[in-house]
Chains A and B, each alone.
Chain A
Amino acid sequence: MPPTTAPAAAAEAMTSSLGSPTVPSVAFFFLIVLITLAITYWAARKTKTSSEYYAAGRSVSALQNGFALAGDYMSAASFLGISGMVALKGYDGMIYATGWLVGWPALMFLVAEPLRNLGKFTFADVVAFRLQQKPVRIAAAIGGITTVLFYTIAQMVGSGSLIQLMFGLKYEYAEIIVGVVMLAYVLFGGMLATTWVQIIKAVLLLIGVSFLTVLTLSKFGFNPVNLYTEVVKQHGPAALQPGGLITSPLEAVSLGLALMFGLLGLPHILMRFYTVPDAKAARVSVLYATGLIGYFYVIIPIVGFGASVLLRANVVKDGATTALAGRGLITFFDKGGNMAAPLLGELLGGQAFLGFIAAVAFATILAVVAGLTLAGASAYSHDIYVSVIKNGRASEEEQVKAAKIATLVFGAVAVLLGIAFKGQNVAFMVGLAFAIAASANFPALLMSVLWKRFTTWGAVWSIVIGAVSSAGMIILSKTVWVEIFGFEHAIFPMKNPAVFSMAASFAAGIVASLLTAEPEAQEKFEDEKLRTYLGVGAE
Chain B
Amino acid sequence: MSNAAPKLHSMDGGAKSARELMDSPDFKALVKKRWTVSFSLLTALFVSYYGYILLLGTNKEWVSQKVSDAPDAVTTVAIPLGIAVILVAWVLTALYVVWANKSYDPEVQRLKGQLKQH
Chain A contacts to B: CB under 8 angstroms: 1, 3, 91, 94-95, 97-99, 101-102, 104-106, 108-110, 225, 228-229, 231-232, 237, 240-242, 246-249, 251-253, 255-256, 260, 280, 283-284, 286-287, 290-291, 294, 297-298, 450, 523, 526-527, 529-530, 533-536
Which one of B1, B39, B53, B108 has the greatest number of beta carbons of chain A within 10 Å? B53
**B97 engages A287 (CB within 8 Å):** yes
Asked if B89 and A91 make an inter-chain contact with CB atoms under 8 angstroms apart, the answer reads no
Q: With a CB–CB cut-off of 8 A, which chain B residues contact A240?
A: 64, 74-76, 78-79
Neighbour of A94 across the interface among B49, B79, B97, CB < 8 A: B79
A242 to B65: give the CA distance in the assembly, Å. 11
CB < 8 Å neighbour of B73 from A1, A97, A298? A1
Total count of chain B residues near the partner, CB < 8 A: 53
**A109/B96 in contact, CB under 8 A:** yes
CA distance A523 to B42 in the complex (A): 29
Quick check: A242 and B78 within 8 Å, CB to CB?
Answer: yes
Chain B 20-57 interface mask (CB, 8 Å, partner A; 1/0): 01100001001100110011011001000110111011
Cα of A279 to Cα of B98 in the assembled complex, Å: 14
Within 8 A of A (CB), among B85-118: 85-87, 89-90, 92-94, 96-97, 100-101, 105, 108, 111-112, 115
B21, B39, B70, B89: most-surrounded residue (chain A CB, <10 A): B89
Q: Nearest chain-A residue to B63 (Cβ)? A: A242
The answer for the CA separation of A29 and B28 in the assembled complex, in Å, is 55
Please measure, in the bound complex, the distance between the C-alpha atom of A523 and the C-alpha atom of B87, giving whole angstroms. Answer: 42
Measured CB to CB, the nearest residue on chain A to B70 is A1
A-B contact count (CB 8 A): 150
List residues of B whose CB falls within 8 A of some A CB. 1-2, 18, 21-22, 27, 30-31, 34-35, 38-39, 41-42, 45, 49-50, 52-54, 56-58, 60, 63-64, 70, 72-76, 78-79, 82-83, 85-87, 89-90, 92-94, 96-97, 100-101, 105, 108, 111-112, 115
**Could you tell me if A241 and B85 are in contact, using CB atoms closer than 8 angstroms?**
no
CB distance from A78 to the nearest CB of B (A): 13
List of B residues within 8 angstroms of A252 by Cβ: 53-54, 56-57
Contact B38 A253, beta carbon cutoff 8 Å:
no
Q: Is the CB–CB distance between A242 and B58 below 8 Å?
A: no
Known: A241-B78, A530-B18. 9 other contacts (CB 8 A): A97-B82, A98-B49, A225-B75, A237-B76, A240-B74, A242-B60, A260-B49, A298-B83, A533-B31
CB distance from B18 to the nearest CB of A (A): 6
A97 x B90 contact (CB < 8 A): no
- Taking a contact as CB atoms under 8 Å apart, the answer to whether A246 and B22 are in contact is no
- Is A248 touching B75 in the complex (CB atoms < 8 A)? no
- CB-CB under 8 A from A290, the residues of chain B are 89-90, 93
CB-nearest residue of chain A to B45: A105
Rank and list the top 10 A-B pairs by shortest CB-CB distance, nearest first: A109-B38, A241-B64, A252-B57, A246-B57, A252-B53, A242-B56, A232-B74, A94-B82, A105-B93, A240-B76
Complexed CA–CA distance, A3 and B72 (Å): 9
Would you call B108 and A533 a contact (CB within 8 A)?
yes
> How many angstroms between the C-alpha atoms of A94 and B58 in the bound complex?
17
Question: Are A249's CB and B57's CB within 8 A?
Answer: yes
Contact in complex: B31, A229 (CB < 8 Å): no
The answer for the CA separation of A228 and B78 in the assembled complex, in Å, is 13
Q: Are A228 and B79 in contact (CB under 8 A)?
A: yes
Tell me which residues across on chain B come within 8 A of A99, comparing CB atoms. Answer: 49, 53
Q: Assess A533 versus B30: contact at CB under 8 Å? Given A98-B82, A106-B45, A242-B63.
A: yes
Instruction: List, sorted by A's number, 25 A–B pairs whose CB atoms are closer than 8 Å.
Output: A98-B82, A98-B85, A98-B86, A109-B45, A225-B74, A240-B64, A240-B75, A240-B78, A246-B53, A247-B57, A252-B56, A253-B54, A256-B50, A291-B90, A294-B90, A450-B35, A527-B18, A527-B22, A529-B27, A530-B21, A534-B108, A534-B111, A534-B112, A535-B108, A536-B115
Q: Are B93 and A228 in contact (CB under 8 A)?
A: no
A237 to B105, CA, bound (A): 51
Are the CB atoms of B1 and A284 closer together than 8 Å?
no
Separation of A251 and B50 alpha carbons in the complex (Å):
12
Q: Can you name the residue of chain A whose Cβ is closest to the Cβ of B109?
A: A534
Q: Which residues on the B side are within 8 Å of A246 (C-beta)?
A: 53, 56-57
